[in-house]
Every structure is written in C-alpha cells, then in structure tokens.
Amino acid sequence: MSIAIRNISKHFGAFHALDDVSIDIPSGELVALLGPSGCGKTTLLRIIAGLESADAGRILLEGDDASDRHVRDRNVGFVFQHYALFRHMTVFENVAFGLRVKPRKFRPSENEIRKRVTRLLDLVQLGWLADRYPSQLSGGQRQRIALARALAVEPKVLLLDEPFGALDAKVRKELRRWLRQLHDEIHVTSVFVTHDQEEALEVSDRIVVMNKGGVEQIGSPDQVYDHPATPFVASFLGSVNLFHGRVEDGHLHVGEHALAVGAGQLATEKAVGFVRPHEFDVLPANAPGSGLPGKILRVIAIGPLAQVELLRPDGELLEVAILRDTLSVLGLREGDEVSLRPRNIRVFQNDNERLAA
C-alpha cells in the first residue's frame, strides 16, 4: 500500500514539530525517516499510524484519504521503540492478540489462529519461545516478537519507531540485516524512524532526511550520501570536513589556497565546501600541484583504515581517512607536514541554499 503524506503540520504548544511536510512512499518500499532527535520523525510516524493527529494536512493510504480514519481501521502495524509487549501475556498470546480482538465474524478459528501465530513465530525464528513471558526475553527477542505481533494482522503498512534504538551494537547489526531480509520476503510497505545514519544507509531503499520539522532530502542511500542536497544532509550523513571560503573561476578559495570545484560552479562570496574524510589524497608537503597544507596531529591506525587528525593553517581540525597501507608507503607519522588534495568537494552557498552537489 502506498503512503502519501500531504502538507502535514503539527505543533506541540509553541514547538513546531512538523512544518508542511509532504512525502510519497511507493508501495512495497522500505523507507527510513532519518534525522536528529526532535526533528519530528517520530511524530510523523505516529501521525501516519493515527496515534497522533496533524494540525493540518492529509495522509493518503493507497490513494484514499485516511486522515480521519480511526487507528483501528487503518490496517497498519506499529512497532514501538520499547516494544510495548503485553507483559501479562505469553509470547504466543501477544502475537495472537490482534487476531483475537477481531469482531466475531472476521475472527479466524482457534485452529487458524494457532497456525498463523506459529507461522509468524517461525518467521521471526522464535517459535521455541511461545510459552515465555516478555520479561523472560532478551531485548532483541522482544523486538522480533513485537514485529511478529504487528505482522499478525497482515497490515498493509508497517511502521517502526526506532526499532533497534534500545539494543546493543552487535544485536542491532544482526537485526538490521534480518529486517532487510524479512522485508525482501514479505514486501510490505515499511517506514522506520531512526537517528542512526548507518542504520538508514544499510537497511532502507530510500531515505527521508528530516531536520527541524521539515524534509531536507529524499533519495536512495547512495544519492543522499554522495549527492547531499543541503549542507545539513552533507554534515548529518557521515563525518565531514568544512571549508569556508569564496567561489571564483571554478575554484573554492580558502584563505590563500584554492581548491578546484569545477567550472560549473557559480561564483559566490560566501560558500562552504564539504569533503568527507575518505575523499582526500594525502601527499608529501613538497609534492607538485596545489593542495591544502596540514600538520598531522594524531594517527589512529586500527583496522584497514587509518584515521588521521590534521591541523589546518587556520587552526581548525581536519579528519582524514586513508588506507593504512598508503599511510605506511608514505611513511607519514605524527608531526609531519602534508598536502591534502580533495578528490571530491561539495559546495553550498553559506545561506543554506543549494548550489551544487
């Protein structure tokens, strides 16, 4: 079922939680609402579910206006951040709940319920826990049971609020992969809220980046990562180095140094360049060509990539990631002067308006 979010606004007192938000979510996609806390992503998810009502705007499910439809009748599955399992019911009864509360004429027979719950528990690979109570499960198990419970009523839309937020790093990673596989199996339109960019990039078909109650960019993970539409997106997704300067003749002038940004770049007095840590070439200070000088402060060489912290002439810090092998070939160590050549630089006008990607 497709979801269309049309001009949704929501206030909490004086706080503008959502400001004229419009998003289209095609049927069968797994979409991430990504943003810092307080950006309105959870509120938006709850509005889609009907747990919260918008001050203005409409929610269309499969093209039909569902704004005034009761939560019960929206046919959505909702997975809560803290699972919200019924603590006095067994795992089996938790999953069966949605089936048991159906009006008598739609309610499946006891046999059918048993079959469906068993199938769902197998789907989330926890059939052996059917008789346990939620308090006897680990966090990851609870989250999977919450998902099975939401799926039991065969929702047309699955909404997940920070589904992995309360889990430790290792379980998170496992569940992430598992959720992606599950979605590929059942293909239900899914929206999940997260503040973890890695999670959004890894799991979703499409990412909606939100900030301060508005949408910054909508796109596939590689689109938003490689071609951020706004400075916010550029800095929120992954770490990034900022260069303030002016653009002239296809170059970003930072102090006395110039970095090539392509001829298509409009000239502007106040611009910001964004370069990700892995987008630098590091060369010895005396190498020919133009680059930014920097002094190595610290090298953290763990794993295949080395994190290098450098000091710019203007006193600001730079973060650069290069292959550890490259580092050892160059023979660089802390205290050395180097020349940095960005391979890729995204320039935005300083007043947040999009210039180039």
Partner 1 sequence: MSATIALQPGALERHETPTTREPAWVKVLLIGIALTFFTVFLLFPLFAVFIEAFRKGWGTYLAALSSQDALAAIRLTLLTAAIAVPLNLVFGVAAAWSIAKFEFPGKRLLITLIDLPFSVSPVISGLIYVLLFGAQGWFGEWFAAHDIKILFAVPGIVLATVFVTFPFVARELIPLMEAQGSEEEEAAVVLGASGWQVFWHTTLPNIKWGLLYGVILCNARAMGEFGAVSVVSGHIRGMTNTMPLHVEILYNEYNYAAAFAVASLLALLAIVTLGLKTLVERQTRKQQTESLALENAS
- Give whichever of 134 and 228 is closer to partner 1, judged by the CB atom: 134
Q: 350, 270 in Cβ contact below 8 A?
A: yes
Find the shortest distance in angstroms from Cβ 72 to partner 1: 5
Q: Name every residue whose Cβ is closer than 8 Å to that of residue 106 and which is 6 or more positions away in sequence.
A: none
Q: In what order do the strands lie in the sheet with 346-349?
A: 257-260, 251-254, 241-248, 268-275, 346-349
Find the shortest distance in angstroms from Cβ 111 to partner 1: 20
Distance between CA 183 and CA 192 in Å, rounded?
12
Q: 244, 274 in Cβ contact below 8 A?
A: no
Residue numbers at the binding site for partner 1 (CB under 8 A): 49, 51, 71-72, 76-78, 80, 82-88, 97-98, 101-102, 134-135, 137-139, 142, 149-150, 152-153, 166
Q: In what order do the strands lie in the sheet with 157-161?
A: 76-79, 157-161, 189-194, 30-34, 206-211, 214-219
- Give whichever of 41 and 257 is closer to partner 1, judged by the CB atom: 41
- Give whichever of 149 and 195 is closer to partner 1, judged by the CB atom: 149
Tokens 């889990």, located at residue: 167
Distance between CA 82 and CA 198 in Å, rounded?
21
- Give whichever of 81 and 230 is closer to partner 1, judged by the CB atom: 81
Q: Is 184 helix (H, G, I), strand (E, B) or coil?
A: helix
Q: In what order do the strands lie in the sheet with 317-323?
A: 280-284, 337-342, 292-301, 305-311, 317-323
Find the shortest distance in angstroms from Cβ 46 to partner 1: 9
Find the shortest distance in angstroms from Cβ 63 to partner 1: 22
Find the shortest distance in angstroms from Cβ 114 to partner 1: 18
Find the shortest distance in angstroms from Cβ 71 to partner 1: 5
- Give whichever of 82 and 270 is closer to partner 1, judged by the CB atom: 82
Distance between CA 158 and CA 63 in Å, rounded?
17
- Give whichever of 145 and 296 is closer to partner 1, judged by the CB atom: 145
